[in-house]
Amino acid sequence: MEPDQSEMSILGHSPNGKGHDLEDDAYVPMKTMAEELDTNGTQNVRFDDPDAILENEEFLPNGDGRKPMRFTDFEGKTSFGMSVFNLGNAIMGSGILGLAYAMANTGILLFLFLLTAVAALSSYSIHLLLKSSGIVGIRAYEQLGYRAFGTTGKMAAGIAITLQNIGAMSSYLYIVKSEFPLVIQAFSRADPTADLWYLNGNYLVIMVSISVILPLALMKQLGYLGYTSGFSLSCMVFFLSAVIYKKFQIPCPFEEFSAANHTVPHLDIHLNVTDNHALHDNGLVHEVDDSHCGAKMFTMNSQTAYTIPILAFAFVCHPEVLPIYTELRNPSQRRMQHVSNLSILVMYTMYFLAALFGYLTFYGKTEPELLHTYSRIDPYDTLILCVRLAVLTAVTLTVPIVLFPVRRALNQMFFSSKSFNWLRHVAIAITLLSLINILVIFAPNILGIFGIIAALCFDNISTVSGFKTQHCQRPACARAK
C-alpha cells in the first residue's frame, strides 16, 4: 500500500526546510506498516497523538517499530521548567508598567474581566496553533503558512513575525535608552544638565546591546536562555513586591517632590507628607483635594479605549511558542499546552496584582508609566531606583528571546534549503541588532508604539492560527489516519 501524494509531500518536507533525506526515506515503510496494521483492524495511532510523536534522544524506533518524526536538526532538551521561564519571559514585558493606568481608566471589575478575556483568548489561540502544528507535523510558523496558503502564506507569516518582533525589540531598547540614563543620574546624583557620556542614552543602548544582548542572541538554542529568563522574571517579582510594599507606605493624597521642601537637594531627601490631608508651606495651610482617593469598580472615559491595546500587548508571546515547543524535552501537544497555560496563569496573576496595588496607591493620579508616578513623590527613592534598574534588566533580557523567532523566520524564508551555519547565525543577529539600534537612536519618540504593535501582531498572529487550522484540515494537509 503506497502513501498518497499529500502524505509524501508531508514526509518529504521537514519544517526546517530540508528536502527528502535518508531519514525521511527510512520513515516511509514504517508509516506504510502502520497503515497496513490499521487496515487489518488494529488500533489506529494518529501521528498527531501526543504519545505518538514523542522525540527520544537518539531518534531510534520505539517499541512498535515506528520511528517518530524529526522536526528539527537537534533534539529537544529543554526542561519543562525552563520552557515555562522562556515563555513567561516572552509574555512578560514592559506592558506591566501600564496596567495600573489601564485599571484606573476601566475600574477594577471591568479591568479584571478584560484581563481574563485577553488571557483566555491568548491561551486558546496557542491551543489552535499547537493543534494546527500537530495536524501537519510542523513546528514552524512559516511552514504552517506554506502548508495552508503556499508560498504567500509562508512569506506572510515570516514577515508578520519579523515586523512584530522588531517592533517589540525596538520598544524594549527605547525604554533602555530613555530610562537607563535617568537611573544612573539618580544613583550618581549627577547634574542632569551635565554633558556626560554615561548619561547619553544612545551610547548606553549600544553598550547594552553589545555587552549583554548580543552574546545571549548568539546562543544556538533557545533553551540555553532559560536561566536568564528565570532571572528576568525574578526582577519582575521584585517589581511586584515593591509595588505592594509602597501601597502601604504612601498615603493618599501624596505630596509631590519639590526642591523647596528639601533642605539638601540630591543628597538628603526628606518628604513632609502630612497625615491630616493638609500641606504646610511657609506657615500657610492648604487643604488637599482627596476626591480622587477612592477605588472605582467601573469607569468609562476617553482613555478607556487604550486599555485593550495595553492588555493585548501584555500577553503577546505567540511567535515564541513554536520555537520553545521545538526545543521542549519529550515534546507533545498536551505538554506544551501545559507550559503555555502555566506561563499565562503566572503572568495573569502578576499582572492583576501589579495593576491592583499600583492603582490602589495612586487611584486617579496613576500615570501611564507606573514608575514615573513614584518619581513624582521622590525621584531619589533608593527602592524605586532599584526597581527601575530591575525592570530595565528584565526588559533587556527579553530581547534575545524575541530575536530568536525573527532569525528563524529569516532562515525559513531565505535559507530553508541550507543547513545550520554559524557565520549566517551570527551575521543575522548582528544585522538585526544594528538595525534596531539605528531605529532606536534616530526615533524621536515611542508614542503609540504599544498600541500599533498590539493592533498588528495580536490580530494577525494570535488569530491566524485558527485559519491555518481550518485550512490544514483539508485532505491536502491532513495526516494519515
Which SS3 state, helix, strand or coil, does residue 308 take? Answer: helix
Tens of pLDDT, residue by residue over 152-167, are 888 888 888 888 888 8
Q: Which three cell numbers stand for residue 255?
A: 505630596
| Domain span at 406 | 80-253+289-472
Of 430 and 172, which is predicted with more confidence?
A: 430
What are the distances in angstroms from CA 106 to CA 116, 221, 289, 290, 437?
14, 41, 22, 20, 35
Average pLDDT over residues 341-366: 91
**Unique residue bearing C-alpha cell 555587552:** 211
Q: Is 268 helix (H, G, I), strand (E, B) or coil?
A: strand
Name, of 24-28, 48-52, 173-177, 337-341, the range with top average pLDDT: 337-341
Given a cut of 60, whether residue 372 has pLDDT beyond it is yes
| pLDDT at residue 453, rounded to an integer | 56
Give 294: exposed, middle or buried? Use CB within 10 Å, 0-12, 13-18, 19+: exposed
445 within a domain of the structure (yes/no): yes
Domain presence at residue 373:
yes
pLDDT of residue 71: 40
Residue 383 has pLDDT above 70, yes or no: yes
pLDDT given for residue 292 in this prediction: 63
Mean pLDDT of 455-462: 51
Is residue 15 scored above 50 in pLDDT?
Answer: no
**CATH number of the domain encompassing residue 324:** 1.20.1740.10
Q: Report the chain's C-alpha Rg in angstroms.
A: 26
Domain presence at residue 103: yes
Whether the predicted pLDDT of 75 surpasses 50: yes
Better pLDDT: 203 or 467: 203
Whether pTM > 0.85 for this model: the answer is no
Question: In angstroms, rounded to a whole number, what is the distance separating the alpha carbons of residues 233 and 235?
Answer: 5
Does residue 308 sit within a domain?
yes
**How many domains is the chain partitioned into structurally?**
1
Higher-confidence position of 185 and 222: 185
Classify residue 301: in a domain, yes or no.
yes
Of the listed ranges 257-261, 393-397, 468-472, the one predicted with least confidence: 468-472
Residue 131 has pLDDT above 70, yes or no: yes
**Does residue 236 belong to any structural domain of this protein?**
yes
Q: What pLDDT is stored for residue 256 in this prediction?
A: 72
In a domain, 248, yes or no: yes
Contacts within 8 Å (CB) and 24+ apart, 31-37: 31/3, 31/7, 31/66, 31/480, 32/1, 32/2, 32/3, 33/65, 33/66, 34/66, 34/480, 35/1, 35/3, 35/480, 36/1
- Residues 41-56 have a mean pLDDT of 42
pLDDT band at 244 (very low <50, low <70, confident <90, very high): very high
40 in any annotated domain: no
User: Where would I find the beta strands (DSSP E) of 225-380?
Assistant: 278-281, 284-287
Report the chain's mean pLDDT, rounded to a whole number: 74
Instruction: Give residue 449's pLDDT.
Output: 53
For residue 40, give the amino acid letter.
Answer: N
What is the pLDDT averaged over residues 412-431?
88
